[in-house]
Amino acid sequence: MRNANTILSCYHCGNQVPDQSIAIADKHFCCTGCKTVYEILNDYHLCTYYDLNEKPGLAQNKVSRKEKYAFLDNADIEKKLIHFSNQHQSHVTFYLPQIHCSSCLWLLENIHKVNDGIITSRVNFPKKEVFIVFDHQATSLRKVVETLDGIGYEPHLSLNEISSKAGSKTDRTRWYKIGVAGFCFSNIMMMSFADYFAVSNTVDPKVAFLLQTIIVLLSLPVLFYSATEFFVSAWNGLKNKYLNIDLPVALALAITFLRSLFEIFSGSGSGYLDSMSGIVFFMLIGRWLQARTYQTIAFDRDYKSFFPIALNVVKDDRITPTEISKVKENDLIQIYSNEIIPVDAILSKGNAKIDYSFVSGESLPVQVNIGEIIYAGGKQLEGLLELIVVKEVSQSYLTNLWNNPVFTKKEPIKKSTYDTIGKYFTYVVLALGFGAGLYWYGRGEVTLMWNAITTVLIVACPCALLLSENYTNGNILRIFGLNKFYLRSPEMIERLSKINHIVLDKTGTITQTNGANVRYTGKVLSKEFRRIIASLLNQSSHPASKLAAGFLNEKKLSKVVHYKEIEGQGIEGWVEEHHIKLGSPAFIGGAYHPEKPGTKVVVFIDGEIVGEFIISNKYRFGVTKLIQSLKKKYSLSLISGDNDTELQNIEDLLGKDSEVLFNQSPQEKLEYISQLQRKHDRQVMMIGDGLNDAGALKQSNLGIAVVDAGNNFTPSSDGIIEASKLSQLDAFIQYAITGKKIVLFTFAISAIYNVIGLYFAIQGILSPVIAAILMPCSSITIILLTYGLTEWAAERHGIKELHNQPFPNPD
């Protein structure tokens, strides 16, 4: 803030206040939406919301229309949303993507002050969900939703969430497993102390017997409950003829267990059950760390979550909200401002300006005339429309994309580097074990032979590799998460590090969807000319005219006569005795030769070209720098569904070696990626934002979706990055590469412990005490090393500044 007197920011959302017309006392607002929210909160004495955090709200530039949630009165839809109901109360859970700070939490849990019918509400912060219990006699589902919407938290209601309501429960089995393993491990350790420190024959045989019985009993739940996932995963790997890292782990666990049982029951020793349960405990914690960061984000949303739940169907002059799956061909439907059209339909009434940027990548809205078709996925910008349904949701143009086999085929199991290392590790260990066994057998020492074989296998379990992989990836995912970069699973870190070709989408990915840059070149415009041009522009609703008019920003306008608009070409008319034409170069006439292609509006007054407005895309912050640094390391391509008006700028940005393609359909994008993979054997990363990229994202080795803050839709992808963090992408990739080195380094360090263990094991003299010392030492070394190294690397790559801020405010 340079000067507090001139720059005012909205009391609600912190956006810049354009003029001071919207204000209450000394509090200024950027729009009426924000003001309304403030008024509601003020009325109900909920202004603590503004005390907890400064300017905690999100911009409320749209005000919901009155009947927007009428469909929630429909009993069928209501039933699908409410998950429990008795005579007195109903329970419902909403997904509120707006939740971002402690103010949100406070407000949503005090929402009963706004609506008396709400009994309690509870926020689940990481999931961005609110669980509401309400009295359905005092209020209704619709009113609850309207209350939420009124205070700026519009619930995300969609078909998808409805159909998978039951699946939203958290999986708690991992907690149970960790708890059980931890309990058994610590108790077995304690029981074993007697044995570690015992001088021979000082322990009472009765006590010794009891101790060993307890140890065996405690080890059973560890092996047969907590460690089951290692056996299951190993078995699945074997079934698919694939040796994964869990196989040697499972093998080592089984051998340790059997050997220990044998020792205990034959009375020859006390077994290694303490080490076994310890390693299971540490491995489970590693897996939990890995999983916790991404479990709450949905990566598999398809077009359905993008669509509304219900549509207004007009029948015999009556409007009935109808569930979207029940909308049939030839139904007459209504679409309001800022709503998505979920079906292919023909326009029958209204002024349609459709924003297809999300489905096709076109950056400018499209004007549709009555009788023309509007495709599913378009968004109406302003005003009410009436449409006749041509194709239902399940058959529309957009849905067809999802019938591509890419979306249905099962993902092949990809071997990770660690699996391969684990495999060789196993071979070496088996060779060593049997080598030692043969040696002792040759010398006639059969007991020592068995000792050597089994203990070598026990010591050499690649648990260390698994541990370093899990702990490193866990922390990397956490750091990525703090940077608003979310990966679907830990395997994606490895894929990220292997990328060698990056494909970018244009609209919405490297450019912003809202807003464009307008520039004027040519003769200096006099005041009169500015007025004339603005007056004519004001007549047209074409997006280019609107942008140019906004650029001139003239308040006083003159009368226009003989106004004529030629669709997609330009406009023409007489203002203040001047003949003026505005439009594309083709519209103005032959004498004009543009230097550079681009979207432009040529100004032609009284038979002379005066100048031109050049409209170009607004690039996201930091994109230029990002592309320049990526260009040096990777081959780049850009594929866009938009027209090629931006070609020149893009080519300047990407350089000559990169391929740039425009007017690509979603199908073509998908094929482009698969061709790169097949013909050129590339590891492709696709960065896109919209539904038109969905196929390409899926086909690529690593698909990253770019989302704007507050936007709740992301196509199916392997990772999600917030638009404001896109500029850091290069640092993220480099960090992933470093991460891999960290895993290998830690593994090498911890292998020292294995070598010490092997030294004893090969001689057949590995005692339980040595194992019990080596195991925790190795595990703790790994945990400390991986944590320290990943944190250090994050700092080196400059992606650590967000730490210690669990509740970061946007921007």
Partner 1 sequence: MSVLIILLIVSICISGGFLVAFLWSVKDGQFDDDQSPAQRILFDQKTNKK
**792 is a contact residue toward partner 1 (CB under 8 A):** no
DSSP 8-state assignment for residue 371? T
**465 is a contact residue toward partner 1 (CB under 8 A):** no
Closer of 274 and 355 to partner 1 (Cβ): 274
- Phi and psi dihedrals of 500, rounded to 5? -130, 0
Applying CB under 8 A, the span of 201-209, 326-334, 643-651, 717-725 interacting with partner 1 comes to 201-209
Q: Which residues pair with 702 in a beta bridge?
A: 685
Structure tokens at 246: 């869990």
In whole angstroms, the minimum distance from the beta carbon of 263 to partner 1 comes to: 21
Closer of 63 and 178 to partner 1 (Cβ): 178
d(CA 372, CA 61): 30
**Other C-beta atoms lying within 10 Å of the C-beta of residue 743:** 27
In whole angstroms, the minimum distance from the beta carbon of 469 to partner 1 comes to: 24
In whole angstroms, the minimum distance from the beta carbon of 85 to partner 1 comes to: 20
**806 is a contact residue toward partner 1 (CB under 8 A):** yes
Q: Which residues pair with 706 in a beta bridge?
A: 721
Closer of 46 and 660 to partner 1 (Cβ): 46
**206 is a contact residue toward partner 1 (CB under 8 A):** yes
**Residue 747 near residue 731 (C-beta atoms within 8 A):** no
3-state SS assignment for residue 132 = strand
Kindly tell me which residue out of 183, 336, 551, 574 binds partner 1, with binding defined by CB under 8 A. Answer: 183
**Residues making up the chain, counted from first to last:** 811
Residue entry with tokens 């139904």: 331
Residues 4-33 that bind partner 1 (CB under 8 A): none
DSSP 8-state assignment for residue 21? T
Structure tokens at 665: 């359909």
Applying CB under 8 A, the span of 175-183, 331-339, 724-732, 758-766 interacting with partner 1 comes to 175-183
**Residue 496 near residue 487 (C-beta atoms within 8 A):** yes
In whole angstroms, the minimum distance from the beta carbon of 168 to partner 1 comes to: 11
**Other C-beta atoms lying within 10 Å of the C-beta of residue 88:** 11
d(CA 776, CA 281): 11
Q: For residue 508, give the nearest of 363, 644, 388 by alpha carbon.
A: 363
Structure tokens at 140: 């209704």
**634 is a contact residue toward partner 1 (CB under 8 A):** no
Applying CB under 8 A, the span of 7-15, 206-214, 318-326, 327-335 interacting with partner 1 comes to 206-214
Closer of 176 and 792 to partner 1 (Cβ): 176
User: Strands 635-639 and 659-661, how do they pair?
Assistant: parallel
**780 is a contact residue toward partner 1 (CB under 8 A):** no
- Based on its alpha-carbon atoms, the radius of gyration of the chain, rounded to whole angstroms, reads 33
**Residue 690 near residue 507 (C-beta atoms within 8 A):** yes
**Residue 254 near residue 260 (C-beta atoms within 8 A):** no
In whole angstroms, the minimum distance from the beta carbon of 110 to partner 1 comes to: 9
Kindly tell me which residue out of 79, 176, 628, 659 binds partner 1, with binding defined by CB under 8 A. Answer: 176
Closer of 204 and 652 to partner 1 (Cβ): 204
Closer of 189 and 389 to partner 1 (Cβ): 189
Q: Walk across the sheet containing 379-380 and list its strands.
A: 366-368, 352-355, 379-380
Site residue total, partner 1 (CB under 8 A): 30
**For residue 763, what are the CA distances in angstroms to 269, 276, 454, 768?**
17, 21, 12, 14
Residues 122-141 that bind partner 1 (CB under 8 A): 123-127
Residues 694-723 that bind partner 1 (CB under 8 A): none
d(CA 524, CA 270): 94
**Residue 627 near residue 636 (C-beta atoms within 8 A):** yes
In whole angstroms, the minimum distance from the beta carbon of 123 to partner 1 comes to: 5
Closer of 292 and 578 to partner 1 (Cβ): 292
Closer of 215 and 537 to partner 1 (Cβ): 215
Closer of 211 and 487 to partner 1 (Cβ): 211
**190 is a contact residue toward partner 1 (CB under 8 A):** yes
Kindly tell me which residue out of 17, 132, 141, 191 binds partner 1, with binding defined by CB under 8 A. Answer: 191
Residues 566-625 that bind partner 1 (CB under 8 A): none
Structure tokens at 230: 């290692």
In whole angstroms, the minimum distance from the beta carbon of 658 to partner 1 comes to: 42
Residues 82-111 that bind partner 1 (CB under 8 A): 102, 105-106, 109
Sign of the Cα torsion 648, 652, 656, 660 reads negative
Closer of 43 and 109 to partner 1 (Cβ): 109
Residues 28-67 that bind partner 1 (CB under 8 A): 48, 52
In whole angstroms, the minimum distance from the beta carbon of 414 to partner 1 comes to: 31
**For residue 133, what are the CA distances in angstroms to 45, 56, 84, 150?**
22, 25, 9, 18
d(CA 577, CA 255): 98
In whole angstroms, the minimum distance from the beta carbon of 292 to partner 1 comes to: 9
In whole angstroms, the minimum distance from the beta carbon of 126 to partner 1 comes to: 6
In whole angstroms, the minimum distance from the beta carbon of 280 to partner 1 comes to: 15
Q: Which amino acid is at 30?
A: C
In whole angstroms, the minimum distance from the beta carbon of 183 to partner 1 comes to: 4
In whole angstroms, the minimum distance from the beta carbon of 102 to partner 1 comes to: 4
Closer of 189 and 368 to partner 1 (Cβ): 189
In whole angstroms, the minimum distance from the beta carbon of 114 to partner 1 comes to: 14
In whole angstroms, the minimum distance from the beta carbon of 229 to partner 1 comes to: 17
Q: Which amino acid is at 277?
A: S
Kindly tell me which residue out of 211, 636, 721, 772 binds partner 1, with binding defined by CB under 8 A. Answer: 211
Sign of the Cα torsion 359, 362, 363, 364 reads negative
Kindly tell me which residue out of 63, 119, 162, 214 binds partner 1, with binding defined by CB under 8 A. Answer: 214
Applying CB under 8 A, the span of 117-125, 622-630, 654-662, 780-788 interacting with partner 1 comes to 117-125
Residue entry with tokens 């530039």: 61
Applying CB under 8 A, the span of 158-166, 183-191, 649-657, 731-739 interacting with partner 1 comes to 183-191
Structure tokens at 678: 């097949």
Kindly tell me which residue out of 36, 85, 140, 187 binds partner 1, with binding defined by CB under 8 A. Answer: 187
DSSP string, 517-558: EEEEEESPPPHHHHHHHHHHHHH---HHHHHHHHHH------
**438 is a contact residue toward partner 1 (CB under 8 A):** no
DSSP 8-state assignment for residue 224? I
In whole angstroms, the minimum distance from the beta carbon of 104 to partner 1 comes to: 10
d(CA 218, CA 674): 52
Q: For residue 617, give the nearest of 652, 639, 588, 645 by alpha carbon.
A: 645
In whole angstroms, the minimum distance from the beta carbon of 101 to partner 1 comes to: 9
Applying CB under 8 A, the span of 118-126, 335-343, 397-405, 750-758 interacting with partner 1 comes to 118-126
Structure tokens at 572: 């023409």
Structure tokens at 112: 């009963």
Name the residues that contact partner 1, by CB under 8 A. Answer: 48, 52, 102, 105-106, 109, 123-127, 170, 172, 175-176, 179-180, 183, 186-187, 190-191, 204, 206-207, 210-211, 214, 806-807
